[in-house]
Amino acid sequence: MQTRVLTGITTTGTPHLGNYVGAIRPAIEASRRADVDAFFFMADYHALIKSDDAARIQRSRLEIAASWLAAGLDPGRVTFYRQSDIPEIPELTWFLTCVAAKGMLNRAHAYKAAVDRNAEAGEDADAGITAGLYMYPVLMAADILAFDAHQVPVGRDQIQHIEMARDLGQRFNHIHGREFFVLPEALIEEQVATLPGLDGRKMSKSYDNTIPLFAGGPRQLRETILRIVTDSRRPDEPKDPDSSALFTIYRAFAGEAETAAFRQALLDGLGWGEAKQALFERVNAEVAPMRERYESFMADPAAIETILQQGARKARAIATPKLAALREALGLRSASTAGVAAARPKAAPRQDKSPRLASFRDADGQFRFRLFSAEGEELLLSMPFADPKAAGALQKQLKTDGAAAAVLRVLPRGIALEREGAVVASTPDYPDAPARDAALARLREALDQLATQDGRGPAPAHGV
């Protein structure tokens, strides 16, 4: 099974070399692995918490999208979208807000730090703090839980947010009696370099010590590299590579042999001026081809828009049915179904017009079953089970809970039934999305009919 790995990028800044080495490059490399199902999105709702500068947010969304695409992100392979194009995310944020303990949010690092700053300044504890900042972790949990991400690669500063997402997912699962959400894990990349900036501290916008990735072209890149702080050793004096930010940045862009040669040159007294030129050339060799792609994307925002719209469609194919199931579980149901159910319990369908399950053993001796509609159409084929009891237990679950027994995951060509993150059954392939959606409706109906066959309704989500 593929591991779903999800990453959000807050759209407030312009990518710099530190972002590239620490986040963009490793994430794109990981997204090429066959066992990874990668989701990348621009966290532009989160950006609104940090900035009310509309022009800056607009620019940053474009620059970040262009940067990731230029760096090799393949939108055909990964799911690449903007948070604000997925209305299911704010909807889920509210559902999670309603199970979030306020005390947990009080303990969030970012909020607590803001309160502490106010206390130090002798201000009211919540002075200048928006509810947006306070709710940041819930929005982030919705980003992750809406897509059942297994892993979230983050820096150490974000671990608490992943723990909160787990907590919220778990609470919701517990209250509503079913594994609605996969509980995500933080993926901390220990070996990923944090790049030093111009002054030797971590490269970060907040220290104003960054080297731009693409902005300003090769000239800006070179001029910024010339501003890297070095010691005052003259040419011919041996330099200490290990205490030099310049060398650390070089190493992040060079292979082993090149790095060893550069280290030796510094030890042999290479002048800082020449060393900076060598660094510029090394970085530019990797960046230049990407910069060309970046510039052509920036010149064609409509192309970016198309890619992001396609990404949003892919993402919503997962989030929409997921939120539909959640609405159902929460009681946000169609008035007509509720009214009918209350007025007259559904009569048991006639025996000859019922969907049915049929078990069989496949060629490998494994146990499987199919679900047929009342009309005899094959709707579902289970995965093979070595243990007949497991196959039986799943059928029993479908008979008691109907469609609520599993997560119905909408795929491009069909639908997969998932329990605890694993696919347990799937539909045949359908030729196109409308055919698939119609099949989804028939499948839901058949599953729910199955569960009402002996006169009971599908089991309520709460284990009453």
Q: How far is the CB of 21 from ligand TRP (least distance, A)?
A: 16
Under rule CB under 6 A, residue 252 binds ligand TRP: no
* Residues 183-202 within binding reach of ligand TRP (CB under 6 A): none
Q: Which stretch binds ligand TRP (CB under 6 A): 6-14, 100-108, 334-342, 439-447?
A: 6-14
| Buried/exposed 30-65: b ≥16 CB within 10 Å, e otherwise | bbeeeebbbbbbbbbbbbbbbeeeeebbeebbbbbb
C-beta closer to ligand TRP: residue 140 or 403? 140
* Binder among 47, 57, 140, 225 for ligand TRP (CB under 6 A): 140
Cα-atom radius of gyration of the chain, to the nearest Å? Answer: 27
* Residues 44-63 within binding reach of ligand TRP (CB under 6 A): 46
Q: How far is the CB of 362 from ligand TRP (least distance, A)?
A: 40
Q: Which stretch binds ligand TRP (CB under 6 A): 136-144, 197-205, 329-337, 376-384?
A: 136-144
In whole angstroms, give the CA distance from residue 20 to residue 41: 16
Under rule CB under 6 A, residue 37 binds ligand TRP: no
* Binder among 27, 89, 144, 213 for ligand TRP (CB under 6 A): 144
Q: What is the DSSP letter of 432?
A: S
C-beta closer to ligand TRP: residue 17 or 416? 17
In whole angstroms, give the CA distance from residue 377 to residue 60: 50
Q: How far is the CB of 158 from ligand TRP (least distance, A)?
A: 6
C-beta closer to ligand TRP: residue 46 or 178? 46
**What would the 3-class secondary structure string for 45-86 be?**
HHHHHHCCCHHHHHHHHHHHHHHHHHCCCCCCCCEEEEHHHC
Q: Which stretch binds ligand TRP (CB under 6 A): 121-129, 150-158, 319-327, 343-351?
A: 150-158
* Residues 406-445 within binding reach of ligand TRP (CB under 6 A): none
C-beta closer to ligand TRP: residue 139 or 287? 139
In whole angstroms, give the CA distance from residue 57 to residue 62: 9
Helix (H, G, I), strand (E, B) or coil at 459: coil
Give the pair of three-digit tokens for residue 122: 């002798």
* Binder among 4, 5, 7, 395 for ligand TRP (CB under 6 A): 7
- CB-CB neighbours of 410 under 10 Å: 19
DSSP symbols for 230-282: ---PPTTS---GGG-HHHHHHHHHS-HHHHHHHHHHHHTT--HHHHHHHHHHH
Under rule CB under 6 A, residue 451 binds ligand TRP: no
* Binder among 158, 230, 277, 426 for ligand TRP (CB under 6 A): 158
* Binder among 24, 64, 70, 154 for ligand TRP (CB under 6 A): 154
Give the pair of three-digit tokens for residue 397: 């679950």
Q: How far is the CB of 23 from ligand TRP (least distance, A)?
A: 9
Helix (H, G, I), strand (E, B) or coil at 402: helix
In whole angstroms, give the CA distance from residue 310 to residue 314: 6
Q: Which stretch binds ligand TRP (CB under 6 A): 140-148, 260-268, 311-319, 453-461?
A: 140-148
Q: Which helix (H) or strand (E) holds 202?
A: none
Nearest residue (beta carbon) to ligand TRP: 8
Q: Report the half-sphere exposure of 158 (CA within 13 A, side-chain side).
A: 22
Q: How many residues bind ligand TRP (CB under 6 A)?
A: 12
Do residues 425 and 319 make contact, with C-beta atoms less than 8 angstroms apart? Answer: no
C-beta closer to ligand TRP: residue 60 or 427? 60
Do residues 382 and 366 make contact, with C-beta atoms less than 8 angstroms apart? Answer: no
* Binder among 5, 43, 48, 225 for ligand TRP (CB under 6 A): 43
Q: How does strand 3-10 pair with strand 36-43?
A: parallel
Under rule CB under 6 A, residue 239 binds ligand TRP: no
- Sequence length of the chain is 464
Q: How far is the CB of 137 from ligand TRP (least distance, A)?
A: 9
* Chain contacts with ligand TRP (rule: CB under 6 A): 6-8, 10, 43, 46, 140, 143-144, 152, 154, 158
